[in-house]
């Protein structure tokens, strides 16, 4: 049994979070990140395991590449985001 999402699940995530979708972080469990609840990002893609690739508006963390090309998966390191209103908030648990 695979712990990876199926191709169909990944495609649903891609359809739910097309490039340009705005997301807001609601929680994170990465002790080395300075990202915090409320930080916002723009989705620039979804990888083959369903992680969101984002460019964070504010990037002042030592575990992430900073400078406008910060593409970090939305589901890695305990990041949790979700959709809400006009601003979508992504969540690995919703995938």
Residue 80 lies in a domain: yes
Residue 95 lies in a domain: no
Q: List Cβ<8 Å contacts ≥24 apart for 8-11.
A: 9/50, 9/95, 10/46, 10/48, 10/49, 10/50
Decide: pTM greater than 0.75.
no
Q: Which domain holds residue 73?
A: 7-90
Task: Please give the chain's pLDDT, 95 residues, in tens.
Answer: 568 899 999 999 999 999 999 999 999 899 888 888 999 999 999 999 999 999 999 864 444 444 433 444 444 445 555 544 445 444 443 33
Nearest residue to 94 (alpha-carbon basis) of 77, 82, 76, 85: 82
CATH number at residue 51: 2.30.30
Residue 1 lies in a domain: no
């Amino acid at each position: 049994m695979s712990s990876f999402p199926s191709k169909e699940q990944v495609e649903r995530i891609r359809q739910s979070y097309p490039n340009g979708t705005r997301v807001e972080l609601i929680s994170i469990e990465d002790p080395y990140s300075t990202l915090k609840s409320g930080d916002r990002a723009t989705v620039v893609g979804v990888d083959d395991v369903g992680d969101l690739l984002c460019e964070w508006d504010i990037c002042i963390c030592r575990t992430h590449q900073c400078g406008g090309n910060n593409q970090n998966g939305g589901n890695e390191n305990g990041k949790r985001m979700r959709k809400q209103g006009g601003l979508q908030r992504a969540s690995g648990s919703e995938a």
